[in-house]
Structure 1
Amino acid sequence: MPILKNRLVRPLATLATTLVAMLAAAAPAAAQNYPERPVKIVSVTSAGTGIDDYTRLLAKFMSQKLGQSFVVENRPGANMIIASDYVAKSAPDGYTLLLSGSGAMAANPFLYRKLPYDPMKDFAPIARLSVLPVALIVPGSSPYHTVNDLIAAAKAKPGKLNFGTSSTGYRTIISAFNEAARIETVSVPYKAANMLLTDVMAGVVDYSLVEVSAVTPHLQGGKLRVLAITGPARLPQLKDVPTLAEVGLARNALTTWVGLFAPAGTPPAIVDKLAKLALEFTTSPEAVAHYQARGSAAYGASGAELRKGIIADQQVWKQMISLAGIEPE
C-alpha cells in the first residue's frame, strides 16, 4: 500500500505544481491585455458634484490611456454605503472600481453597528488621488470675520448659534470642533450638501464645516466666507485663510481624501497597472486644473500608503466620534 500511495501522490503533486505555474504565467498576460471590455467606476456621490466631476476626468484619462471605455456609475446614498457595498460584492476582475473617500473607509465603521462591508478586508486599495481640506464657513453677511469672533459669540450665547451638517461624518467633525473650542451650539441636519450651502448663504445657518471643493464656486459672489481650513498648511487658492491649527485648534487637522479601490481579490498585476495610471493622472493638466479650481490638492499615494492612511484615520475618527458622543446607528 505505501508504494501505491506514493505513485498517486507524486502525479498529483506534479499536477498541482503545473497548475500553479500556469496560473502565475496567466496573471501577467491577463494584466497585459486588460481591459478587454468597458470598465465601470462607481462614484459614491450624485452627478454634478465636485467628486463626480473628478471621477469623470479620471474615467476620460483612463479611457485615453488604455483604449477602452471607463464609464462612471453614480450610486449615492446612505453615507456612501450603497456604492461601497455594491463594489465590495462585485467580481474581483478589475471591471468594477470604486471612487470613494475617508467617510466610507475610515468613519463609517464607527458610525454604524452593522456595516455591510469591511473597509480593510473587502477592498484592494489602488491609489489615493486627492486630499480635500475642510472649510469652516459662515454666511457672507455674517458679523463673524475670524474663528475667534465665532467662538466668542458662541460662548456669549450658549445654545443660541446653530450649525448645519449634511452627514453624520460632518456632524462628527463639527462636534469635535465645538469640543475643542468649548462651545455649545445647535445642530441642524440637512439631507444634501447643496441644501445646506443654500441656507448658509441665506443666513439661515450660522456656520458649518464642509469640503473646500464645495465652497470655492460660491466665494466670488461674496455669499460665503471661509474663516479657516483643516489640514497641515494653507491653500494657495485661499492664502489669506488660516488653518485651524494656526488659531489654536490643532486637534482639527483632519482632511478628507479621495481614493480608487477595487474589490478584494483583484489580480495584483491589474491593481498595479491601474495604480500607475491613477498616480499619473494626479499630475495631469486636467487634474491640476480641477485641484486649483476647487481648493483641493493631489497628494497621490500608493495603494499600500492608502491602506496605512485608512488605519491611521480610523483611529482619529474613532476618537472624534467618541468625543462627539455619537452612538452608532
Structure 2
Amino acid sequence: MMLFNKTKRIQYLGFNDMWFSVVGILILSLSTDYIFNNSFQSYPLALAFYSWGASLIITICDWLIIRWILIFLRKKYPDFSDDVKRIVIFFLAIVTTIFVVDYVGGHSIQYIYRLLGKNANYFTQLKVLLPVTLVTIMIMAIYEAMYYYVRLKKSIREEEQTKQVMIQAQLDTLRNQAQPHFLFNSLNTLRDIIDQDSKEDAKGFVDNLSNVYRFILESGNTNLIAVEKELKFAKAYVYIQSERFGDNLQMNWNVPENKLTSMIVPMSLQLLIENAIKHNIVSRAKPLIITVTIKDDFLVVHNKIQTKSTKVPSTKIGLKNIEQRYALITNKLPEITSDGIQFTVSLPLLKLSDQKKNYANTNH
C-alpha cells in the first residue's frame, strides 16, 4: 500500500510524508475541535477527549481520502502543463470530501457514541466548515509546494544533464576537428622536407611527429591542460617546423614557473603558432619572431604581421576552434587584437573553479 511504501510516497508526493501526516492530522483535528466545540474549554477533560476523538476520526478520514485523491490526480496529470487543471480538480475534491465526510462521519460518530452512552456533541454547520476547509487547503498547499519544488529540481537536473551531453559532443567534435587539421599541415611540412632535405632529416621529422601525436592521443580526451604540458607540446611542434624553416622561425618563450600549473585549452597554443607560420612570411630576409609570454593571467602570443604576397586560403579552423572551446568551458574568452603591425591573441589562464557549472562533469 502507498501509505506504508516509502519509495512510492516519495515518488508521488515529493517527500516522505509520514511524520508530516501525523503532525498535520493532529493540528487539523485540534483546530477542527476548537472551531466546532472548543471541547477542552467547554467540557470536563474526559468528555473533551471524547469530543476531540470525534474530530480526530473525521480528520483522519478527510486526510486519507484527500491524500488518495492527490496521488490519483498526480498519476493522471503528471506534466507541468496539467498543473492548473489538476489543482482546480483537487480544490473541488477537497471541498466535496470535507462536506461529505463531515456529514456522514459526524452523524455516524454521534450514533455510535449514543449507543455507548456518550455525548460527543458533534454537529455540522456551514460557518465552521468553511474555516476547516481553508485550513485543509493551506495544509495541502504544502504538499503541492513540495511536489512542485521536487519536480522543478528534477527538471532542471535533467536539463543540465542534457546540456552536458550536448557540450561534450561539441567539445569532442572540436577536438577531432583540430587533430586532422594538425596532421594535414604536418604532412605538408614532411613533403617539403622530403623535397628539400635528406632522407635522414625526413626520418627524424617522422620520429618527432610520432612523439607529438603520442601526446595528442594521450591528451585527446582532456578539455583542460596544464600550461607546462601545452608548452612541451608546442615546443615539440616548433622543433618539427624548424626542420623546414631553420633560423627563419624564431621563438621567444617567457613563461614564469609559477604559471606552469595554470590551465588552458589543449592544442590552443600550438594552433596559434601554426596560424602565425601559415599566414606570415618566414624567410631569411624576414624571419618570423613569435613571442609567448604571460600578462595579467593571460598566455599571450604575438608576432609582427608579415603578410604573404600570395594569401594562403584560410580554413578559419584555428582561431574559431579555440574560441568555441573556451566559450563552452568558461566565461573567460580569448582576446584577439590586430593593429596592422602586431597580431596578438591572449588565452585566459584558467582554474577548475572557472569552469561553467553545466560543464563541470564533462571532463573524461
TM-score by length of 2: 0.23
Q: Which has the larger radius of gyration?
A: 2
Q: Which has the higher contact order (CA 8 A, sep 6+)?
A: 1
Decide which structure has greater helix share. Answer: 2
TM-score by length of 1: 0.25
